[in-house]
Structures are given as C-alpha cells and as structure tokens.
A and B are shown apart, each in its own frame.
Chain A
Amino acid sequence: MNSSGIIHIAPWQLGLASVFIVASIAVIWAMKFGLGKRLAWAAVRSYVQLLILGYVLSWLFHLDSGLMVIAVLLIMSGVAAITVSRRVSEMPGKIIRATFTVLFGVCLLITFTVTGLIVQVHPWYLPRYVIPVAGMVLGNSMASVAIALERVFRDLDARSDEIRGLVALGATPREAADASIRSSLIAGLIPSINTLATAGVVFIPGMMSGQILAGTAPGVAAPYQIVILFMVTAASLFSSTTAILLVYKHRFDKFGAYIDESVREPSGT
C-alpha cells in the first residue's frame, strides 16, 4: 500500500488474475464450444489494450484540442462499429456504415449532454471527463446495437412467412417488420433495465467502485454513477432504435417484398 491508500497490483498479481481466463478456456475446451481461441485472443487484446491505455490515457488527458478529442471519439466509434458488424455477420458494409453513423451520433449527443450540461466541464472537450464518458456511452451502445441487430435479422427470418403474408395483404416494409422491430428493441433494452433495477444491490458499478477504491468519498461517487447509468440507458435505447430503423429495410426489395432464401430459391412449385 502506498501513501494514497491504494494497493498497487504487481505483475505477479496480474499474472495470478490470468488464472480466471485460463480456467474459462479450460472449461470451453472441455465442453467443445469452439470459442476458446476467440476468448484467448480477446483476453490478450484486453490485456495489451488496457495496459497501453494506461499510458495513452495520461497522454490523452493532456490533449489540448477539441478537434483531437473528437478524432479520438471517431476512432472509438469506428472500432465499435466494426465489432458490431462482425457479431451480426450480415451485410457487413451496410451494417458498418449504419452502425458507425448511429454510434458516433449518439456518442456526441449523449457525451456532450453529460459533460456540457450536467457536469459542466471547462473547456468543453476536457479529455479527462469526455473520453471516459464517451467510452461508457459507446461500450454500452455497442452491446445493445449488436444484440438488437442480431435479433432483428433472426426474428425477421423466423417470421418470413408471416411477413410475406402481410406484404401480400398490402403491408409496407415498416408494417410487416413492426413486430420484429419491437421485440428486438425490447431485447436490446432489457439488459439496461436490469442493470438500473439492480444497481447498488446486485451490481456494484465499476466506475463507482473505482472511484471509491481510489479514495473518493462514496457520497461524491454515487451521483456520478447515477448520471452514468441514466446516460447509458438512453444511449442504448437511442442507438439500438436508430440502428434497427436504418438497417431492417435492407431485407426488403424496392417493391417492399421480403428478401429471404426461400423466395429466391425455387420452392418446388
């Protein structure tokens, strides 16, 4: 323990923590999920990225230019969009474009609402606030968008007969896809609602724990965490809604007919 009351984690302790990942990979291999490589690679990435981030952040936090901060947000949004498109694994080009637009837009809107109107930082781009807030906005939005998009395509395909029936009755793509859009939005939002409902009881938020561990009074840390949870909820909802509305149309042709495998293949008659 040093003078500020924080217990430092030495390299050997970090190594010991890796046991968690090694154990997870062992379970995956034993059960033949086939995800072992991906998890190992993701763990290595998080290790390297976070260590680098430790150094990069101290540089980022001293950035003295609004444009540079925006550029950092652009890069973060880009990586998030690529991650979503990999997970959804359909129409990668269209997904990346739509998701990038949505994530960057929501990130700007929510982040600067929080830092500008609520916390009121000066200057407006103060990186020490803006970058971590944007990171939380993007991280949560990315997860919601990925769930919502994955879900909307799966649900549309599962309902393709019903959708074709609705279209044959004169439904527009929006009307035919409505039930899928709703259920996907709900699926994307449920995790945020659960997080809100259990915050402080089951789920002890990372940021608040971090602040308290770093010596901030709990009474100061709590309001921050509330702001963060509310902002993250709005970010998830806005981003998954706009992403779904931008993307679902690609499953319909210019005549509003649903595009699925069985329509394109001879169905036997």
Chain B
Amino acid sequence: MFQVEHITVELVGDEGTFLAVDDVSLALESSQIADIVGPSGAGKSTFLYALSLLVPCRSGDLLLDGRRVSSFTPSEWRSLVALVQQKPTLIEGSVQTNLLLPWTLKVHKEHKRPTFEEMRRLLDRAELSDISLERPVSKLSVGQQARIAFIRTLLTRPEVLLLDEVDAALDAASTRAIGGLVTSFAHDGGAVLRVRHKVDDGRASYRCRFEGGCAGALESVPPCEDASRSDDGSFRETGRHE
C-alpha cells in the first residue's frame, strides 16, 4: 500500500552537507503498524519529514496504492500520508477550532467535516473526556495539546499515519489511549509508521532500527536491521501481530 524506495536525504549541518537518511526502503501494507527505533540523531524524524515531503529528498521515490508521489499535489499527498509532529502545533482558539482547522484548508474543503459526536468520541477515547470542545487550547497541558493535535490528524482520515513521538509527553494512561486509537486506525485499514523512544508497547508488528552518526557526520543509516528486512529492503512478517 505504502512504498518507500531508496529514500536519501541530504541536510546542511554545521560542517557542510551530510546524509541524514541514506538509501532507506520499506513497504507497509494496509493495517500494519511499524516502529522506527534507534538513537537520537539517527535520522528517524528526518525520515518521517521526508515521507511527508517536508524535507526534500535527494533521490528515491514514494508510492501510495501504486501511485507515484509525483502524481499527487504536495497538499494531496500530505492529506493522505499525514505526519503528526512531536511538538503539538495548535493555533490560538478553542479545541473545536483546532480540530476543525483542516477543513479551512482547500485540500480538505470538499471532505465531510467531522460531527460534534465524532470529535467528542475521539476526545473521550484519548482520555480527554473532561475537556470541552469550547476550552481554549492555551489552557491545556502539553500532553493534552499533543493528543488534540493527534486527534486533529486522525479526523482527516489519512491512509498512512506518520507519528513522530506523539506519546513522548504523555503519562501511561494517555499513552495507552493513543496506542488504542492507533491500533483502531490500523484495524480500519490504515498503515502507521511510528518513531518511538518509549518501551515497546507491543502494538507494532514491525520494527525498523535506525542508526547514524551524530549530527553532521556523513555516516550511512542502515535501515531495518531487526531481521525484518528482506533483500529488497521491505519488511517481512515477523509474527508480532496482536
């Protein structure tokens, strides 16, 4: 469903350019969840950014349902392959204003807006049942904001979710709640790629290990060391489905 072919990203650092992501390939099928793990500075976030076209790739290709990335507009691509950043980026206003923000954008305008009940249901499932839709987001904690940002993307119904440590600022209960939402998203046919630093929560069936030098070093980034990499670089079943 979602294929990443030989993605290479070159970034500019303090000491010139270096390869932040070096020839990484992988393939995700519908309903699959894969975790990207590895030390800080390994290029994990950069990789997710590249998949959502937020940093330019030097080479490589991306395919969604067999269609090349070049046949989408960048906005369309990002609405289908949706990144949730580590740092929640909410705008000033209420929870509802933020949850409906995507429908103020051209790319989502023709899609159906979520109903009040849909928003409420997701908030409840994300351990935010005590937060009203009218609450200004400035009054929320970082952990609550992170969940609002996550739900906002979930409501846009992407095909692939790219999650960059969305549970980094969350307590155990909220982490479980987000994990549950991710599992249901996959259950409904979505594919998920997560960057995580926390202890494995057992929800991902695949794992891809990133290793790279410290920032600025020109070291290669061997992807998917975890016995899940086949010769063509894609993931294979490792039998860790729930």
Contacts and interface: CB of A to CB of B under 8 A. Distances in A.
Contacts of A254: 56
B20 to A, nearest CB: 6
B228 interface: no
A266 B105 contact: no
A164 to B, nearest CB: 6
| Size bracket of the A interface | 20 to 34
A39 interface: no
B107 A263 contact: no
- SS class, residues of chain A in contact with chain B: loop
- SS class, residues of chain B in contact with chain A: mixed
26 contacts: A161-B89, A164-B54, A166-B101, A167-B54, A168-B78, A168-B84, A169-B79, A169-B102, A169-B105, A169-B153, A170-B76, A170-B78, A170-B156, A172-B75, A175-B106, A255-B56, A256-B53, A256-B75, A257-B53, A257-B56, A258-B54, A263-B54, A265-B14, A269-B40, A269-B45, A269-B164
A175 B165 CA distance: 26
B74 interface: yes
Nearest to B162: A168
Interface string B59-92: 0000000000000001110110011111111110
B195 interface: yes
Interface string B169-213: 000000000000000000000000001000000000000000000
A169 B78 contact: yes
Interface of A: 161-162, 164-172, 175, 253-258, 263-269
B152 A169 contact: yes
A162 B91 contact: yes
B2 interface: no
Contact of B11 (A162, A170, A172, A266): A266
A170 B106 CA distance: 8
Nearest to B103: A169
B195 A171 contact: no
Contacts of A165: 85, 88-90, 149
